[in-house]
Amino acid sequence: MDKKKNISMAVIKRLPKYHRYLMDLMKNDVDRISSKELSEKIGFTASQIRQDLNCFGDFGQQGYGYNVGELYGQICNILGLTKTYKTVIIGAGNIGQAIANYTRFEKIGFRLEAIFDINPKLIGIRIRDIEIRDIDYLDDYLKESSIDIGVICVPNNNAQKVCDILVKNKVKGIWNFAPVDLVTPEGIKIENVHLSDSLLTLTCLLNDID
């Protein structure tokens, strides 16, 4: 684990995919796999795999392959899957509700504590037994809670304001679904899901084949 601090963002972005494939291998009772076999499944080159996995320890053995269970455990550890993350969702529109309803995120340690919205029609409604609260009380709520992740699902023009409230209250992780690039002090970790950007990537690719 001492090598961990040197893991690049590019490797971090590939880790969830390793995690998915290793979990499948575990489910299928595969104990060992070579970088070549893993390459065929996962679609990265064998050399890329060796380089990536070398970032966080000495797992592979020439002519012997990787110990699937050990590798899986280590990746879970690096991905922070051994912890739980107290989470609030801000914005209970389409995507906010979808995220709130995703029970499988709980396996990742995502523990939904509260949901906030500005819309009086939504305030008071319950999603999976969690009441939607008035966004005016977000600041007060955060002062009294210890929240790890804030999920921003509000429209563009409110996203930075919500982000500032989260940061002010020591929320360190932001999962941002608003199509804006948030400005935060150093140390705050942001992961963006820009759905419009993703759709535009697809239309761009489609346009290319005409």
Using CB under 8 A as the binding rule, whether residue 1 contacts a second copy is answered as no
Asked if residue 5 binds a second copy (CB under 8 A), the reply is yes
Binding flag, residue 25, a second copy (CB under 8 A): no
Of 102 and 137, CB closest to a second copy: 102
How do strand 66-67 and strand 110-117 relate by DSSP bridges?
A: unpaired
Which lies closer to a second copy via its Cβ, residue 7 or residue 30? Answer: 7
User: Which residues 6+ apart lie within 8 Å of 23 measured at CB?
Assistant: 72
CA 197 to chain centre: 17
Q: Nearer to a second copy by C-beta: 41 or 140?
A: 41
In terms of CB distance, is 83 or 161 closer to a second copy? 83
β-strands 110-117, 130-134 pairing: parallel
Q: Is 43 in the site for a second copy (CB under 8 A)?
A: yes
Closest contact distance (angstroms) between CB of 37 and a second copy is 16
92-151 binders of a second copy (CB under 8 A) = 94-95, 97-99, 101-102, 104-105, 108-110, 148-149
Give yes or no for a contact between 95 and 55, defined as CB atoms under 8 angstroms apart: no
70, 81 contact by CB (below 8 A) = no
- DSSP conformational letter for 61: B
Q: How many residues bind a second copy (CB under 8 A)?
A: 59
Residue 17 binds a second copy, judged by CB under 8 A: yes
Whole-angstrom distance, CA of residue 205 vs CA of residue 49: 27
69 is in an annotated binding site: no
| Spatial separation of the C-alpha atoms in residues 34 and 78, rounded to whole Å | 21
Q: Compute the least distance from the CB of residue 177 to a second copy, in Å.
A: 10
Which CB atom, from 44 or from 116, has the smaller least distance to a second copy? 44
Stretch that binds a second copy, among 65-73, 81-89, 111-119, 139-147 (CB under 8 A): 81-89
The helix or strand, by DSSP H or E, that contains position 5, with its residue range, turns out to be none
- Residue 88, both tokens: 């609030």
